[in-house]
Chains A and B, each alone.
Chain A
Amino acid sequence: MTREAPHLNEEQLALLASEVPDPLAEEHLASCERCRRRWQQYVMIREAMRALPSPALPRDFTFALERVTPPSIPWWWRHRFSIRVGTLLAATLLVMLLSTALVLPGSSEKRALEQPAPTAIAVLSSQETPTGPGAGGEVLPPSAALEGTPMVEDTATSVSAFAAPAETPSRATPEHEAEVTQPTGGFWRLVLLSFTAFLGIITLLGLIFGFGLPMIHRIRSKNVLQ
């Protein structure tokens, strides 16, 4: 049965020079002269290498250590973990503040201002209206668009209404009323804005000193040691 086993390949024989063969390999080596001869060559080569004389040490390498001074460690490297924690806290607070600002009552006013004015829509509608007989030329003036009341006027009237938007009667909104009744709202808004800006700066600096510079420092030292 053993004699029918295939020969050990060259790589197995080479590795067996420093390993104890398993029972199957050992049995094969005992019975196969060809494999045993090659294996012995590897063993001999390895033993000869183990017996190679070491090159003479040219000098003692310990003396130079006395002259070695450790490089100064930058402050951001020493405190990088504290900086990271502070940065994450500042970033969290910043996100919370910004999220809160979006759902505050003043934010709806901003959204209303960002929307296109109804008068512009009216003008666009009038330009696209065919001028042929029976076309009607029905447009909604700004005031009517805001109030949702349908009106029937000619094109000239609608253009003149766009040209003089100031004539549109203004109405006091609830936000304006709130500003009137709360005169200190602007101050607190300023405080909030300043705090947000402060947190933004802290977060930015924390990202630089807590994450960016330490990462560069680590990559550099890794390149040196690897």
Chain B
Amino acid sequence: MFGTVPAGEEQQLAMGTGDPDSTLVAAARAGDHDAFAELVRRYQRLVYAVSYRLLRDQTLAEDVTQDAFVRAYLSLDRFRGTSFRAWVLRIAHNAALDQLRSLARHRHVPLEAVPERPEPFNPPASVEHQGLVAALEAAIAVLPPDQRAVVLLADVEGLPYEEVAEALAIPLGTVKSRLARARMRLRALLEADPRARELLELSGRLASGESDPSDLATWTQE
């Protein structure tokens, strides 16, 4: 009954408009090391952040990030996708999943098992609203790996659905269903977390008209 129209600033970055990295990729293919170094500089923060939040371990995330770029460099002639960013993320995601499987085997726990007390995420001390950030990070950390990957790419990093689908090698419909399930679970987790109560109460006030809608933008920018 209620259809939806894809929108949002990230969604408008349609992949059909062409890969902005195509020039650098072509130069790197021709043997230009500087061009590939520029690609690495462009996406190392993104790849590391996704790997870190998937693995919750700095050393492993570093290894995965480095490995992803090395593999991408060595396999550049086989890159046939439409987005270099999605391709590198896909390599990193697969490497991270391998690490998670390895950890699960080593610890004798199944991959999908949800830890009762996830490893604490330590954001930089200078970040405001540390309680809420910690609550969000903890909630993301207990999501199953498939939902966590979709949330990290679509919501945390703001990639368009199409690119998320390409990075995770799943259909667009699966991206949406996983994203919806992940958000539903996140909301339930945050409702139970006192550190996130302010966020949900503020949204309630906004919805009932008790507060100025501009508070939302102000709050999220803080």
Contacts and interface: CB of A to CB of B under 8 A. Distances in A.
Interface of A: 5-6, 8, 10-12, 14-22, 24-25, 28, 33, 36-37, 39-62, 64-66, 68, 70-71, 221, 224-226
24 contacts: A5-B1, A12-B180, A15-B180, A18-B11, A19-B11, A20-B6, A20-B7, A20-B8, A24-B1, A25-B3, A37-B208, A41-B207, A43-B203, A44-B220, A51-B221, A53-B123, A53-B124, A54-B45, A54-B49, A58-B48, A61-B40, A64-B66, A64-B70, A225-B71
Given A22-B2, A49-B155, A61 B44 contact: yes
Interface in B47-95: 48-49, 52-53, 58, 61-62, 65-66, 69-71, 73-75, 78, 90-91, 94
A46 B180 CA distance: 11
A157 to B, nearest CB: 81
Contacts of B58: 55, 58
Nearest to B65: A61
Contacts, number: 176
A89 to B, nearest CB: 28
A225 B75 contact: yes
A56 B124 contact: yes
Contact of A55 (B52, B90, B91): B52
**Chain B interface secondary structure, helix, strand, loop or mixed?**
helix
Contacts of B169: 226
B100 interface: no
A45 B199 contact: yes
Interface of B: 1-8, 10-11, 33, 36-37, 40-41, 44-45, 48-49, 52-53, 58, 61-62, 65-66, 69-71, 73-75, 78, 90-91, 94, 123-124, 127, 132-133, 136-137, 140, 151, 154-156, 158, 169, 176-177, 179-181, 183-184, 186-187, 190, 199-200, 202-204, 206-208, 216, 220-221
Given A65-B73, A225-B78, A53 B156 contact: no
A18 B71 contact: no
A44 B74 contact: no
8 nearest A-B pairs in the assembled complex, by CB-CB distance = A20-B7, A37-B207, A44-B203, A14-B183, A25-B2, A40-B207, A40-B203, A47-B220
Given A22-B3, A33-B207, 6 more contacts: A11-B177, A18-B179, A44-B216, A45-B186, A49-B155, A64-B70
A14 B177 CA distance: 10
Given A19-B7, A22-B2, A62-B40, A37 B184 contact: no
A50 B155 contact: yes
Contacts of A62: 37, 40-41, 44
Nearest to A222: B78
Contacts of A49: 136, 140, 151, 155-156
Contacts of A22: 2-5
Nearest to B189: A45
B180 A14 contact: yes
B138 to A, nearest CB: 12
A41 B204 contact: yes
A15 B156 contact: no
A55 B157 CA distance: 12
A130 to B, nearest CB: 78
Contacts of B204: 37, 40-41
Contacts of A25: 2-4
